[in-house]
Chain A
Amino acid sequence: GNSVTQMEGPVTLSEEAFLTINCTYTATGYPSLFWYVQYPGEGLQLLLKATKADDKGSNKGFEATYRKETTSFHLEKGSVQVSDSAVYFCALILQGAQKLVFGQGTRLTINP
């Protein structure tokens, strides 16, 4: 089946630290990959996406590279801010499918 596995949270970092949130996937076809972010009390917002192997998605200082050989899409940011505190979801969707498959989410807390 199709699934997404994210690193267990919660993750707590200090401001300006380097962030990595791991995401790996299994898919029966060729997926597009996404990172969504959910700030407290809000719905999900698309953070970045990649639709083919070796594509790099980037937004707001966050980056993730679609690695087909390792079936991974790890999220990174070089210097986190308190405002980055949120829950981050990795997700995939297969070509022609309606269903986004989400990971369980990783809660990130950044301390000043």
Chain B
Amino acid sequence: ETGVTQTPRHLVMGMTNKKSLKCEQHLGHNAMYWYKQSAKKPLELMFVYSLEERVENNSVPSRFSPECPNSSHLFLHLHTLQPEDSALYLCASSLQAGLSGNEQFFGPGTRLTVL
């Protein structure tokens, strides 16, 4: 138990659906992250939020829309996804973005399948 929870753990959706992934951290951290983990590819950083402000967006398609209403919660809104978006989506948090030696704590992930 890392102090980062994600819901749902599994999600199956059609290409025309709209769904949201939720992440919550109970660690008092100020930075939160979304990563995508696809088979046989390195983890890809998608978004970084620091004190509820987006500080990095790694050329992610607009069909992925993040939201960070406060420093404990992070959402990833999904809309008109493609089958190649099927992956494990991992949320992480850290004390502060950009801090040297800063450890990131990961949630268990949401396994997303797009049909």
Does residue B48 face the partner (Cβ distance < 8 Å to A)? yes
Interface residues of A: mostly helix, strand, loop or mixed? loop
Does residue B81 face the partner (Cβ distance < 8 Å to A)? no
Does residue A69 face the partner (Cβ distance < 8 Å to B)? no
Contact code string A36-56 (vs B, CB < 8 Å = 1, else 0)? 100001111110010100000
Q: How far is the CA of A105 from the CA of B103 in the complex (A)?
A: 18
Binds A, one of B14-22, B39-47, B65-73: B39-47
Q: How far is the CA of A22 from the CA of B33 in the complex (A)?
A: 27
Flag if B90 contacts A44 (CB, 8 Å).
yes
- Band of interface residues on B: 20 to 34
Does residue B2 face the partner (Cβ distance < 8 Å to A)? yes
For chain B residues 42-85, which have a beta carbon within 8 Å of chain A? 42-43, 45, 48, 50, 55-56, 58
Does residue A34 face the partner (Cβ distance < 8 Å to B)? yes
Flag if B48 contacts A98 (CB, 8 Å).
yes
* Contact of A104 (CB < 8 Å), options: B42, B55, B90, B102: B42
A77 CB, min distance to chain B CBs, angstroms: 21
Binding site for A on B (CB under 8 A): 2, 4, 6, 31, 33, 40-43, 45, 48, 50, 55-56, 58, 90, 92, 97-98, 100-109
Beyond the given A44-B90, A99-B48, could you list 19 further A-B residue pairs with CB under 8 A, ordered by the A residue number?
A41-B108, A42-B109, A43-B2, A43-B107, A44-B43, A45-B106, A49-B103, A51-B100, A51-B101, A95-B100, A96-B98, A98-B31, A98-B33, A98-B50, A98-B55, A100-B45, A100-B104, A102-B42, A105-B42
